[in-house]
Amino acid sequence: MSTESASASSFTALGLSAPSLRALAAAGFTTPTPIQAQAIPPALKGADIIGCAATGTGKTAAYLLPLLERLHGKTGTRALVLAPTRELALQIAQHVDLLGREARMRAAVVIGGVGIEGQRRALREGRPLLIATPGRLIDHLDSGTARLDTIEMLVLDEADRMLDMGFAPQLRRVMAKLPKPRQTLLFSATMAGEVADFARTHLRSPVRVEVARSGTMAPRATQAAYKVGQGEKAALLQALLSASTDSTLVFVRTRRRADKLARSLERAGHRTDRIHADRSQGQRQRALEDFRGGRVRVLVATDIAARGIDVADIGHVVNFDLPHVPEDYVHRIGRTARAAASGRASSFVAPDETPLLLAIERLTRSRVPQATVPRDAPAFLAELKQQADRQVDPGPRGPAHGISARPAGQAPGRHARTHGTRVFSGGPAGRHPRRDGGPGRAHAAGAPQRHGR
């Protein structure tokens, strides 16, 4: 079943209660977005929903408002919202505080990266709404601190991302713990085959709400693809940052790459922070708050941040590395041009990433316009020169270079035990040869050496 592509001119027409309308007015929301106008009425009636809309179109309020309405007057934990990342779970909790203020609604938030005792207390209180990431929820189910047998309403937010991130086994375990008679609302920016299979298995005669076809881009995001070599990407980013003052979110593929790029940008004078899985929840939250508050201009992130960054004025999203999953491109670009704003999205395409760009264009059914690389820009040339200088002179060795971190008296590691048996030309066994043919540096007994591999 599908809804008509209609919209309501006000929240009053959607059948919401007076407390919800007052909370919306206090938050400054006056007109529902298309996904809200189409999803809220059937959700209020208890229907299962499949909601497909581009990121930044108001999906969170589209399911929270009917959820909060249907929770009114009930005791115990009756609703569960699953999200793929900690950041998105916390963002949903903030919306609960905003939209549920009039009804004094409180949510228990169960996520990794933070202390578990506070979560246990919140679960014991039996708060009406539980917001969780799948992994930490499974921890609580295994330890007996969480039960799902009273759940009447289930929301899966960014369901495609949860499946992409490998949460399918955890989702199956959670679904097995839930009562069969329940309302299920599945929301996602993309509707790939795995999500469709999940919906067919777990939803009953759902109402399908699709305000934009799966894979549709944010309409106000201006896209550009730059064909560059891998060694030119940092120079191109410096040039683009120097050409504007926009707040910029940069996506990279690995945690190590995020750290390295953030340090490079800081050396160039840009206020920069980064978020990835190796950062603590406190560090990640501070980085987001500083970015949201303008204290940081550039935020470097892995795809963990593609969902859950709720910042209204991100002017520029940069795909420093193209994503391996085309749907992730949609979510990355959705971080700009949110809530009727406009923005830019730039993608750096190295020769080996051309197939990734073609996959993105097939998903979005459109070509990404190619832009000219500003190789004559002063910032571009300066970064290339600095890279060349660092190759010639990488700088002095750090104070701990060549010093083992292994505690005194501890047996040597595998590398140290086997390295002394190798014979190098230019020196006896157990010594590093020097390029000038001179004597090598002997290993400290039992001390593994750090190599640049």
Can 11-210 and 221-392 be said to share one CATH topology? yes
- Residue 52: which of 63, 68, 44 has the closest Cα? 63
Lowest mean pLDDT among 1-10, 275-284, 368-377, 427-436: 427-436
Q: Where are the domains of the chain?
A: 11-210, 221-392
DSSP letters along 383-429, please? HHHHHHHHHH---PPPTTTT---SPTTPPP-HHHHHHTT--BTTB-T
Give the fold, CATH level 3, of 11-210. Answer: Rossmann fold (3.40.50)
pLDDT digits (tens, 9 = 90+) for 414-423: 555 555 544 4
Adjacent-strand bridge partners of 49: 185, 207
Can you tell me the distance from the alpha carbon of 323 to that of 409, in angstroms, rounded to the nearest whole number? 46
Cβ count near 373 (within 10 Å): 17
Cβ-Cβ contacts under 8 Å for 221 (sequence gap 6 or more): 317, 333, 334, 336, 337, 342, 343, 344, 345
Phi, psi of 90 (to 5 degrees): -65, -35
pLDDT digits (tens, 9 = 90+) for 101-119: 888 888 999 998 888 899 9
Looking at every residue in the chain, the average pLDDT score rounds to: 83
Q: Does domain 221-392 have CATH number 3.40.50.300?
A: yes
pLDDT digits (tens, 9 = 90+) for 61-102: 999 999 999 998 888 999 999 998 888 899 899 999 999 988
